[in-house]
Structure 1
């Protein structure tokens, strides 16, 4: 699974601006694989200039087309291509600390229009009012220019977007999510693991996703689940694969990919140890007789 943030940051061919941990990019995606997995340790905002793509997780799927905008929380997703038009987007990678610092700076100075309930969804659709449409057009102007804008100006432009979301009535779910970041200084292990368990990430990548060292991640994980990350991940992935075998038409090959297993032999062996039958036989006749997790 590819780290999109690191790929863009280290790539020489991208039209991008970097300001410390912040990353701004005008990105044209080559039309190659029909579906591929990506992850990032930071949230990111995409505004589609042409084409369309679907971001899919166990908690939902979001298709965005030209003129539409999606805010995607830190974590992993399966991205599905459409081959009708070339896909081009503006992408902004935003750290939690940057958002928190802006909230602390403006708190008490203006009213926020936030939904009282913070959505647990992995992504949030952004409603583009005239102000936001003009905002993205102004950002595109910088990418089309011959000179990089100053770091201060780029930070101010990103701050403009966040304040716009917080103070206008069109995006209460995203405003609530921004405000929720003030309540915790560290990313929630439980929220991140429940949202990303099915993706084939290494222990080191899960630790980065949770903004912890590997040793801190293991220690905090044990406090939450009283299990090692490896044992917990295997159980969750097997339960999810059983759910898909019973409730979807996906092929076993697709299910292996969607549940984070390396290959068929590993999946089949682990599945049989857990459920007593092969995945194929489970789907044929054993699935209807077994008690599975109600939902994912």
Structure 2
């Protein structure tokens, strides 16, 4: 579903799986992105595209008082219609990054400024001009960076990946097993079968153990506190984190926090 927002509470910013290509422009503030391998940062006036079928965590600075983004979500239906209308025949892209930074130009800045008169209540773009503005933005992006066509107009499903490497890079993302299967280019049954052959246990059991082992290391060696790390490790509830930690190791995180250094 397409949408545009200029609101720091946007649900997009809470997502970890990106189902459609998403253009983001930072009107004010800064934001960082982590894709399991690399961290990207955008500051005021910066913009980029989060690629479809990516796992990305969005992080705002602790001292960030105001974060004001503008977001366009390009769904496949719109992109196919645009491609047909403009007779675009993209070449294969060698870009592999999950987040593609867009060069700062007057075209982009002027486009963002042109949106202001068309916002309605809730900072949503007026439907009367929505399609025009989506098309205008896409024309600008392709004009200044033609290589984006190979990314935006690629409708293929994810290819079969090295499951072990993928999971070791992405275990901190809190997404469903079905989503992990899709992103590694497998059916759910094939994913579970391959997973058992590689790791010797079920995906859910492995994920919990992997996250807890990392938590143990961060608390014991890096002196971090559970409230600081549980979300980053893929846990959604702090009390549940405490419960499974004690169940796994036989003692609560506080035992590590209160442990005196050995002489």
Give TM-score, length-normalised by structure 2. 0.65
Secondary structure of the residue aligned to 1:27 is coil
1:222 and 1:228 in contact (8 A); partners too: yes
Is 1:81 the counterpart of 2:61? The answer is yes
Q: How does 1:162-181 map to 2 (within 5 A)?
A: 162-169=138-145, 172=147, 174-179=148-153, 181=154
Secondary structure of the residue aligned to 2:7 is strand
Deviation (angstroms), 1:165: 2.5
- The 2-side partners of 1:219 and 1:264 are apart by 31
Which of 218, 230, 244 in structure 1 is aligned with 2:188?
A: 218
Distance 1:266 1:92, change over 3 A: same
Structure 1 unaligned regions, length at least 5: 1-20, 31-35, 286-296
Deviation (angstroms), 1:219: 2.9
Deviation (angstroms), 1:23: 0.9
Which of 105, 130, 133 in structure 2 is aligned with 1:129?
A: 105
Quote the residue 1:157 is aligned against. 133
Quote the residue 2:26 is aligned against. 48
Secondary structure of the residue aligned to 1:200 is coil
Distance 1:268 1:107, change over 3 A: farther
Distance 1:108 1:203, change over 3 A: closer
Quote the residue 1:61 is aligned against. 39
- The 2-side partners of 1:77 and 1:163 are apart by 28
RMSD over equivalenced CA pairs, Å: 4.3
Distance 1:96 1:232, change over 3 A: farther
Secondary structure of the residue aligned to 1:133 is helix
Q: How does 1:1-296 map to 2 (within 5 A)?
A: 21-29=1-9, 38-43=15-20, 44-73=22-51, 74-83=54-63, 85-103=65-83, 105-108=85-88, 116-121=93-98, 123-143=99-119, 148-150=126-128, 153-169=129-145, 172=147, 174-179=148-153, 181-182=154-155, 184=156, 186-187=157-158, 190=161, 194=167, 196-203=170-177, 206=179, 210=182, 218-222=188-192, 225-226=195-196, 228-234=202-208, 237=211, 249=222, 251=224, 253=226, 254-261=228-235, 262-267=240-245, 269-270=247-248, 272=249
Distance 1:223 1:29, change over 3 A: same
Quote the residue 1:7 is aligned against. none
Deviation (angstroms), 1:232: 4.8
- How many residues of Structure 1 are paired with residues of Structure 2 in the alignment? 235
Secondary structure of the residue aligned to 2:152 is helix
User: C-alpha deviations, 1:217-242, integer Å up to 9, x for none?
Assistant: 62353366457542453465457657
1:37 and 1:76 in contact (8 A); partners too: no
Secondary structure of the residue aligned to 1:161 is helix
Structure 2 unaligned regions, length at least 5: none
Deviation (angstroms), 1:100: 4.3
Give TM-score, length-normalised by structure 1. 0.59
